[in-house]
Amino acid sequence: MNTSVVGAPSVAAAPDLAGLEPVEKIKRRWPMFLGGALTLLMIVALCRELFDAGLAGLTKASPANPLFYVVFAIYYLGPPTFDYVIFRRLWRIPLAGMAALHKKRISNEVLFGYTGEAYFYAWARQRTQMVAAPFGAVKDVTILSAIAGNAVTLAVVAVALPLGISLLTAIQQKAVLGSIAVIIGTSVPFMIFSKRVFSLPAGTLWWIFGVHCARILAGSFFVALAWHFAMPEVPLGTWLFLAAARLLAWRLPLVPNKELVFATFAIMVIGQGEALSELMALIAALTLIAHVALIAGFSVYALFKRTR
């Protein structure tokens, strides 16, 4: 009689335990679901841009100099490559991790800010054998990317603003000065409370900050070089100055219509409005095509890998 009484609870409990198994599986598989959902959203957003006049820039005259396309490719591959350098040191990720880093970059550009970080975090969570706690590192790298962008922007302001502030209207000057205050105000708290904000050692944080600064400077240099090969009649020094202005315009938070402000400033400097507009449209179209090609390639490869 004692045996039947003792055994009864275990039999009754069995269905409850079995019912919990699908919930546990869902908990374990949420990174896969999140990564798949973001990939699908990327495909939808890219298709929308592709068919919504996204390729208008290709209808214009393309540069004949092949060096333009070589430098553009280097410029395009730069951000994921620098991210790979960072996470290779932090996690020893394999070369296959470049695919996740490209998706991270594409997600940030075609969806909205920091969806790429969410995708990359989900990707890392699926590989707990490689990295046990990815959140801290992803957080630190993301924050340092913003701080590095702010630091380089302030350095550019210190050099370029005295030379170009006379080209801005009074309203634009106030917007620039207000944006500088916002940049400083949003960066200082992270520096003051760095011990509470960051998870990685101080030496590693400074190294990551340096890599991000190198990424931003390299991107500005290569886009200026691409512009120069497309329009060689404009000196490279002028394009470098415009690349600094582009960096400044894109990172100032209180400046509306950043692309219009930059285009207006660039036209005032080089005086070739139509040619410059066509060049910017071409680069935007080439970037979109590269995004589509990579997402399509990654999707086909993943499907092929699953079927094997």
pLDDT at residue 254 tops 80: no
Q: How confident is the model at residue 74 (pLDDT cuts 50, 70, 90)?
A: very high
Structure tokens at 152: 């380089």
Task: Tell me the three state secondary structure of residue 72.
Answer: helix
More confident of the two residues 165 and 63: 63
More confident of the two residues 227 and 254: 227
Q: Are 67 and 236 in contact (CB under 8 A)?
A: no
Q: How confident is the model at residue 164 (pLDDT cuts 50, 70, 90)?
A: low
More confident of the two residues 184 and 143: 143
Domain boundaries, given as residue ranges, for the chain: 66-90+134-307
Q: What is the pLDDT of residue 170?
A: 72
This prediction has a pTM of 0.77
Out of 32-46, 54-68, 292-306, least confident range: 32-46
Encode pLDDT of 271-299 as tens digits: 766 777 788 878 888 888 888 888 888 88
Q: What is the pLDDT of residue 58?
A: 64
Give 251-255 contacts, CB < 8 A, sequence gap 24+. 251/149, 251/150, 251/153, 251/183, 252/153, 252/175, 252/176, 252/179, 252/180, 252/183, 253/179, 253/182, 253/183, 254/175, 254/178, 254/179, 254/182, 255/172, 255/175, 255/176, 255/179
Average pLDDT over residues 203-209: 95
Name residue, tokens 């900050």. 209
Average pLDDT over residues 96-111: 88
DSSP states of 221-282 as a string?
HHHHHHHHHHSTTS-HHHHHHHHHHHHHHHH-TT-SSHHHHHHHHHHHHH--HHHHHHHHHH
Integer angstrom CA distances of residue 259 from 45, 248, 254, 284: 20, 11, 13, 12
Rounded to 10 degrees, the C-alpha dihedral 251/253/255/259 comes to: 40
pLDDT at residue 157 tops 90: no
CB atoms within 10 A of CB 291: 24
